[in-house]
Amino acid sequence: MTLIVSCIIIISSILLKRKLKIIPKGFQNAVEYVLEALLNLTDSVTQDRKQSKKFFPLVATIFIFVILSNWIELVPGLGTFGINRIHDGKIILVPFIRSSSADFNVTLAIALVSVFATQFMGIAAIGFVRYAKKFLVNPLRKPYLVGTFVGILEIISEIAKIISFSFRLFGNIFAGEVLLIVMLGLVPFLIPLPFLFLELFVGFVQALVFSMLTLVFMKMAVTEASH
């Protein structure tokens, strides 16, 4: 499913680029609306258009990829066809195909890209030595040991970002997938509709949260420790 989502984004981008028009219509109009909204949202965080242009490609890519990965779980039949296996005396369905965001490997990979890109942006903006001062503080400087302790907390927080990013996205989408399967199994008509709309909303919110947190962390990374 990750490959399918990636192919959808790449092929759509190529087709869009070949058919660009000065006056947008249809698909181009929709894409420009989404990208312009994301760029304006990026500007509201950075307060600097030049800086926004540096962050925007990664932030927009994460948003588009994650939201498509989240919404693809709503495709009929996805996650409902598989093999029944017995585990602890219970019959469990192991699906052939699942939403990519419902797999922890995928969410962890996106989280690693986000966090490492943030470090790269910080080093590129203010230099390796000044960026390292956020984490490595001389314990002999006043107030003694406080700066070093804060630096250690900063290191822990960077590791925690990977955990929080990956588990938040995985937990919400996996739980939603399970909920849909259960509801469709119990009442296949009408009743599951509110849950489908709920998953559309949750998928959008999770994509927005992931991309916006990435943006905020990048903005913090390019700011020197003294500020």
Element (H, E) at 7: helix 2-18
- pLDDT at residue 225 in the model: 59
- pLDDT at residue 142 in the model: 63
How much is the CA Rg of the chain, to the nearest whole Å?
A: 21
Residue pair 39/56 in contact by the 8 Å Cβ criterion: yes
- pLDDT at residue 140 in the model: 62
What is the longest distance spanned by two Cα atoms in the chain?
69
Report the C-alpha gap between 65 and 75 in whole angstroms: 16
Exposure on the CB side of residue 78, measured as CA atoms within 13 A: 18
**Chain centre distance of CA 169:** 7
Which tokens in the block code for residue 45? 């965080």
Digit-by-digit pLDDT tens for the chain (227 residues) are 889 899 999 999 998 888 888 887 888 888 899 999 999 999 998 888 888 889 999 999 999 999 999 988 787 767 667 787 877 777 777 777 778 888 899 999 999 999 999 999 888 888 888 888 777 776 666 666 666 777 788 888 888 999 999 999 999 888 888 887 777 777 777 777 888 888 889 999 999 999 999 999 999 888 775 54
Residue pair 106/100 in contact by the 8 Å Cβ criterion: yes
Report the C-alpha gap between 14 and 11 in whole angstroms: 5
- pLDDT at residue 227 in the model: 44
- pLDDT at residue 149 in the model: 76
Residue 36, judged by CB atoms within 10 A of its CB (0-12, 13-18, 19+), counts as exposed
- pLDDT at residue 222 in the model: 85
The DSSP secondary structure of 31-69, one letter per residue, reads HHHHHHHHHHHHHHHHS-HHHHHHHHHHHHHHHHHHHHH
Task: Provide the 8-state DSSP code for 85.
Answer: E
